[in-house]
Chains A and B, each alone.
Chain A
């Protein structure tokens, strides 16, 4: 739910980094002090313009969120669905149960595994692909861009079926390839130790195309003069990347890092279609747990508590990323 906000806040610096060398646009004179009534009319018009959007956001976003927050302090469940009088207020009981629930901690561990392994892998792979795509020697850029981006637009459920065949222990292409290298078969989706890596593989393949395009846009905006100047100063390929490319795309990097982390915290569809949370609960994510509690067992109170804990976690994660970035910028 916070993805659009994050994008709105971050997309501007990411896709349109202000050219630092060109002539700065003439600053508009900041002395427009009209009469008070005109100001008020403008303000009223402004409110009218945003009112429809505010009503929609209030009705379809703010209210449900507040309702869910209230719900998280009750034991709203299946019985309450049929007989509202059986709802009990439990205070922070749901949160206390949640923090004592080994299933929640296991789900959190699985989710963090996915975020902290899958996230950097996605960013690294997409940056690598973007560098290759923007390199001068690369031919057929359009073709490669399309091919690498195509997994993003495929339907997860459909590709999950294909991946299930690829990952099959006995008949899968992946194990056949490993077999040719003399490596014994791996039970990708059936072994609790391998199930999450398999999902990460699928998610990275499915998602890196999108962040790759963002990186391509960011790289295209790096002024060529900087490279020229650095090259004249004797910088090699590695130094160019380290001291010109990386600092220039830092805002893009931050944007990609944040949206990837937010997206990966919400891990759900992959385990839902690939493993149903198994084997032995190794792929139950926090959102999957929330879905099971909420829409399978209708423990809506408990599920709401899970949702808010996840929200707090994602907020903390994003704040941490922003702070790290700010510190890096300051240096």
Chain B
């Protein structure tokens, strides 16, 4: 009786599973994860792709950016990765180390649409790990200054100074007018502002082939000191993003005059700031320690996952989304800046005065260290910096903590590199030993 019941239920489960199998003539279904705003608006483009490719259906899954990294790794561990997904280009070394994503070398060598020469080279190169290409830039992202031009004019400034010292003076002057409470909003839960100041300095965040942290260096110390001084001197409020209920409202109110942020906010500022302020804000490239400074080589790249059962279709989708015309439309939908310069000719972007700062900044971008631990290192820098900003630890302690913690994070990387070297070494040593 029991055995029969068990068999019966097993048969039921089996038939239920069998009915899940697609019929032979059903369309190929591509799982496409899209993050944040992109996921909300990419629908029409995907429908167009489906019309061009009648045998393919694309299921768009929206994932919030804040959870995207965790979800992708969990999906990899659970073998449920999508076919195609945009990923932050700083995650690519990690995805490549895992073997989660496929190399796109052949695709880029043969595709008439996707060629390195057609893209911003600085951003393209963030997708190359160990000589292999793993992602195609979907859109580029760098950070510039968004600021209140009217308040700057009131303080006697026509343009944003290009040096740290000049920028600082300008913020103090704006504060003195009494119309802005703070100079700049640098939310404590955002790692980017400090990262930008640090990458403007020589030396880099890591040293010795990215084996050790490089925080106890004159460059990082200068950047860190400048960053801390902005809070200490009351130019930046000691808040994180969750405490600023509405950035746009506060910007309109004059709570702060500057905000370091990315291209998605071009659209948001246009949509959310009152009409009366529309001519009062604009953008400027990042100031540097001595003259125009660099910024992050961020962006989002389309990757094809190794577990995908439909790679040709997945690559077709990547190629479709990379077309200049589609890139231009994607810009119109999201405000995400096209990864290919030829798509910048589109009306709305070519004549957008606010976008010019981004175009200029994109010629001065510095990629983050291409190590799988990068995301974690960036988070740690932010956490320790927050402790220093809040006066919980001294700047010197913060730098020592960063070096110690980042060295510990890179321990496995050092071991793997040594193991690699040890495996290669006997061959290398054997060569000169022969007479």
Binding site for B on A (CB under 8 A): 75, 77-79, 81-83, 86, 88, 164, 168-171, 187, 189-190, 192, 275-276, 278-281, 295-298
Contact = CB atoms under 8 A, between A and B. Distances in A.
A296 B386 contact: no
B188 A86 contact: no
B400 interface: no
6 contacts: A88-B415, A169-B243, A192-B390, A276-B189, A281-B387, A296-B69
Contacts of A187: 243
Contacts of A170: 245
B301 to A, nearest CB: 19
B222 interface: no
B392 interface: yes
Interface stretch (B94-102, B154-162, B340-348): B94-102
A295 B412 contact: no
A79 B242 contact: no
B188 A279 contact: yes
A221 B97 CA distance: 62
A278 B69 contact: no
B239 A78 contact: no
A190 B240 contact: yes
Nearest to A85: B419
Contacts of A88: 415
B305 interface: no
Given A278-B189, A280-B387, 15 more contacts: A78-B97, A79-B416, A81-B73, A81-B77, A82-B98, A82-B99, A86-B412, A88-B415, A164-B242, A170-B245, A171-B245, A190-B240, A275-B242, A281-B383, A296-B70
Contacts of A296: 69-70, 376
Contact of A82 (B97, B245, B415): B97
A232 B413 CA distance: 78
B390 A280 contact: yes
Given A79-B412, A86-B416, A279 B99 contact: no
Nearest to A168: B245
Nearest to B409: A297
B386 A190 contact: no
Contact of A75 (B70, B243, B412): B412
3 A-B pairs closest in CB distance:
A82-B98, A190-B243, A82-B99
Given A86-B416, A171-B245, A279 B94 contact: no
Nearest to B71: A295
A298 B412 CA distance: 13
A75 B99 CA distance: 19
Contacts of B100: 82
A79 B383 CA distance: 24
Contacts of B416: 79, 86
Interface in B223-253: 238-240, 242-243, 245
Nearest to A275: B242
A171 B255 CA distance: 15
Interface string B53-88: 000000000000000011001101100000000000
A279 B240 contact: yes
Contact of B76 (A81, A86, A171, A275): A81
Given A281-B387, A295-B74, A296-B70, A77 B242 contact: no
A276 B376 CA distance: 15
Nearest to A274: B242
A327 B155 CA distance: 73
B372 interface: yes
B189 A298 contact: no
A84 to B, nearest CB: 12
Nearest to B372: A78
Contacts of A164: 242
B239 A190 contact: yes
B372 A79 contact: yes
A297 B374 CA distance: 11
Interface string B210-224: 000000000000000
Nearest to A102: B401
A249 B99 CA distance: 59
Given A78-B97, A82-B100, A190-B243, A279 B412 contact: no
Contacts of A82: 97-100
B188 A278 contact: yes
Contacts of B76: 81
Contacts of B239: 190
Name the residue among B94, B243, B383 with the largest chain A CB count within 10 angstroms. Answer: B243
A281 to B, nearest CB: 7
A279 B385 CA distance: 12
A279 B383 CA distance: 9
A79 B387 contact: no
Nearest to B387: A280
Contacts of A281: 383, 386-387
A313 to B, nearest CB: 24
B76 to A, nearest CB: 7
Contact of A278 (B70, B94, B240, B392): B240
A168 B239 CA distance: 12
Nearest to A297: B376
Contact of B386 (A81, A189, A280, A297): A280
A109 B272 CA distance: 42
B305 to A, nearest CB: 13
A78 B98 contact: yes
Interface string B264-299: 000000000000000000000000000000000000
Nearest to A296: B70
Nearest to A48: B2
Nearest to A187: B243
A118 B82 CA distance: 42
Nearest to A169: B243
Contacts of A298: 73, 77
A166 to B, nearest CB: 12
A169 B242 CA distance: 11
Contacts of B77: 81, 298
B285 to A, nearest CB: 30
Nearest to A97: B408
A233 B243 CA distance: 59
A279 B69 CA distance: 22
B376 A189 contact: no
A215 B70 CA distance: 40
Nearest to A293: B376
Contacts of B74: 295
B243 A78 contact: no
Interface string B147-191: 000000000000000000000000000000000000000001100
B209 to A, nearest CB: 17
Contacts of A77: 412
B412 A278 contact: no
A84 B387 CA distance: 36
A279 B415 contact: no
A279 B392 CA distance: 11
A279 B390 contact: yes
